[in-house]
Chains A and B, each alone.
Chain A
Amino acid sequence: MNYTKQIQDIAAKLFAEGKIDVFVGYRMNGFDENQVPVLITDPQDVSKLVFTDKSVFNLVNYLKTDHTRRKRVGIVVKGCDSRSLNLMLTESQVKRENLYVVGICCEGVVDDAGEKMQNCTDCMVPDAVVSDEMLGTAVSGSGTLTYKKNADIVALAEKPLTERAAYFEEVFENCIRCNACRHSCPLCYCAKCCIDQETATLYNGANTTSAAFHALMTWSLHLAGRCVDCRNCEKACPSHLPLHLLHKQNESVIYENFQEHLAGVIPEDRGAFYKYSLKDPDDFIM
C-alpha cells in the first residue's frame, strides 16, 4: 500500500485550484521509518506527504484544532478514520463543504514491529465511507464483513472475575492521568471535558487509581457506540494501557445486543445511545 505519489498530486492540484487552505496528511518523522501527521499550508511542502502502511494515525483528530476549524481542509482518511469523520459530520463538528476528503481503500496498517495491527485484521470497514476521491482497489464486502469479536476481550472474559479485577486495577493504577487518550481521540471534541469540570473534580482525587478508574470508565462510556477503533488513544498513551479493551467491550455489547451498525458507518447515524428499539434486551432487568 503506497499512495504517496497520488496524494502529493492531489494535494498539489487542490492548492493550485485554490480549493483548500490546509492539507492534513502524513510525513516521515525524520529519524526512523515511522510517520507523523503533518498540516501543510504551503503548496511547496506537498512533497513531504507520504502514505504507506505506516500511516497509522487517525488524521480526523486534527479537524478539531484551530488550525483547521473554519478553514477549507484536504484530508486523507482510511476506513476507520472515515467513520470518525462521519460522526464528526453528523455531530456538526465539521462542515462537509469545507472538506476535500481523499478516501483510502485500506489494506491495513502495521505497528512498530511491522506486524499488521489487530484492529486492521479485525476490520469490517476497510474502505473509506466518506470521500470525494478514492485511492486503491475497493475491498470486496467492505462494511458487510463478518464481525470478529476482539480476541483480547474474549480471553479476558473467560478469566475469573478476580483475575479480571486485578488486571484492570493494574491498568488503572498505571494511568498517569495525562489525558493523551482524550486529546488523540477525534470524537473527544468537547469544549471542556466533563472529567475536568468542577462537578466531577469535586468528587475526585487527582492522580489516583480510583480517579483514573472513574475518568477512563466515563470516557469509554462516552465513546460507547461512537468509538471507531482507530486506536489513536492507544498509540498516544505513554503508559501503553490497553485502552482498546474498554472500547471493544462496549462495542461488542452494543453490536451483539442492539443490532446496530458499527459506529460511523451509516451517515447521520449517531450511535447506539441516542436511539432505542422496543426489541432491546430486557432480560437483565428484574
Chain B
Amino acid sequence: MNQQAMSPRRRGLMLGAAATGLAALTQPLAVLAQDASEIVIGGSIPMTGVFAFAGVGINDGIQDYVKIINDAGGIKGRKVKYVPEDTAYKVDVSVAAFKKITSQNKVNVYYGDSTGFAKTINPELERNGNILMAGASFASELNDPKKYPHQFLVGPDYTEMFGILLKHIAKEKPGAKVAFVYSDSEFGRDPIEKSEAAAKQLGLTVAIKIMTAAGSVDVSGEVIKLRRAAPDYTIFHGYILAPIPEFITQGKQQGMKSKWMGTFWTMDSSTVMKMGADGDGFMGVMPYRYYYDTEAAPMLEKIRAMRPEYQSTAYTQGMLAAMLFLESVKRCLDAGKPLTGDAMKAALNSLKDFDTGGLIGVPISIPGNSIPVGRVYKADMKAQKMVPASDWIKL
C-alpha cells in the first residue's frame, strides 16, 4: 500500500532525471561551435590499433601542413581547422567518427583510414555532396572516378605500384621471371590479377603466385615453393613487415638469387631497416621522397626544420593529402566556385604539372583518381637509408 502512495512522486522524479539525462546527451553535440569561414579537414585517423604506426605519422603530416598554411594566413584569409578522431582501424568506429565530425562541423575535405571505410562511406559522400575525400588506401577499386567521384588516392593505386616495379624490372632485365607473394586479404589480393596481365605485356613471366594465410608465422613451406620456381624478382604485397624477412632469410639460406621487392606500406625506412642484414638491397616502389633525401626539395627542408627527427613516409602521405586537399579548395575559391564535392574534384583534376615542393620528385598531374608516379628505392643497410634505384617512373 505504501508503494502505491510513493510511486507517482518517485516516478515523476525518475522521469525528470531521465529527461535531463537525455537532454544532456543531445545538447553538447548539437552545438555547432564553428566560424563559418573556416575550412574544415575531418579525419578518421587510425592512431591506435594495427595501423597505428602509419596513423600517427599521417596525423602529424596533416597537422603540420595545416599549421604551415595557417601561419601563412590561411587560404584567401580563411583559416583551416583539422578535426581528427581515432578509429583503431575499424570500419564501424571510423564511420561513427565520420558521423560525429560531420555533425559537429561543416566538413569540406576528409581523410579516411581504410579501403573498407572508403567504400562504406562513399554513398554518404555522394549524398552529402560537399566533401572531397582521400585516405590511407591505395586500393585499385577506388581508382574509378565514375564509382568514386568525390574521392582520390594520394599516390598510385596498388596495381600501378606493381606496374612501376614491373616496368623497372623489364628495363633492368628483359624477360625476367617474377614471383608474386601476397597475403590472403583484400589488401593482398588487390593487384595480383591485373598485374599478371601487365607482366605478360612487358614480356616478363610470372613464375609463381604464392598466397600466404593471414597471420601465418611459419612460411618455410612457401619458401620451398618459391625456391623451386627460381624467380629473378620476388614482389611482396599485402604485408607490413612479417613474413617478408623470413622469406628473404630462408630464401638466401637456400641459395636463392632473387631480388626482393615491396610496395608502399612496407617501404617506410624504419620498416625496411628492421629486416636486418639480409634486407640489404631490398627494393620497392615509393611515390614520395624520403625524409633524408638530399635532392633539392623546399617542402622537405621545411619538414626537417619543423621536425629534426626522421618522419615516416606515412607522414609525407598525410602532408601531401592535406596539400592536395587545400590546393583544390584554393582553386575553387579562386574561381569563385562553391566548395562542393564536384567542384573540388574538378579543381583537383585541373592540376597540371603541379609542384609538390619536392614531396614527389616530379611535377604531377591528376587526370583521374590516382597519381600514377613512383620511383624504385633500394635499402642500403650500411647507411641505414633507402637510396634511389631508378628515375621517377610515370605510367
Q: Do A and B come from one complex?
A: no
Interface residues of A (CB under 8 A from B): none
Interface residues of B (CB under 8 A from A): none
